[in-house]
Structure 1
Amino acid sequence: MVLLVVLFGVWLWRRGRRLDAPPAPPPPRSDGAVQPMVACARCGVHVPQSSAVSGRAGLYCCEAHRREAEGG
């Protein structure tokens, strides 16, 4: 009976340590390049700069937001 209580205590202790551990970092990208992120001038969503649509008033996440913001 005492052995079961000790094993249960060890299990709880190890479980608590595992929950307190920081999450693992995301895996690195395969090409290793870091892309700068920019905010859409219309909605504020961040997109990679290489995917952003350029307009007169800034960068946008899509062509529709560029048209809505610039009226054309």
Structure 2
Amino acid sequence: MKYLLLLIVLALVFYMLGRKRQPPPAQPPASSAPPPVSRGQTMVACAHCGLHLPEQESLPGRGGAFCSTEHRAAYEAAHARP
């Protein structure tokens, strides 16, 4: 019985020593710089209806930016100078 217990203890010791010799799992290197942040588009509101749209897609007019030619014409007709 003593020898069986001694054998189990020795097997456990050798098992633990064998686990410590294995290299730890590889981890990806931690980068010091955060990932680049992409900048969003500048949004503008249509001066006639208030719809928000990207500045590149808006139509410029006398009253600001517009979402369509119809809204630009309607705004300019409503706000025409006498």
Residue in structure 1 matching 2:75, options 56, 69, 72: 69
Q: Which has the larger radius of gyration?
A: 2
**How far apart, in 2, do the equivalents of 1:64 and 1:55 lie?**
11
Residue in structure 2 matching 1:47, options 53, 58, 69: 53
> Where does structure 1 differ by over 6 angstroms across 4 or more consecutive aligned residues?
none
SS at match of 1:44: coil
**How far apart, in 2, do the equivalents of 1:63 and 1:47 lie?**
14
SS at match of 2:60: strand
Residue in structure 2 matching 1:37, options 43, 52, 56: 43
Offset of 1:65 from its aligned partner? 0.2
Percentage of matched positions with identical amino acids:
41
Count of paired positions: 41
Unpaired runs of 5+ residues, structure 2, are 1-37
CA RMSD of aligned residues (A): 1.7
SS at match of 1:35: coil
Offset of 1:33 from its aligned partner? 5.1
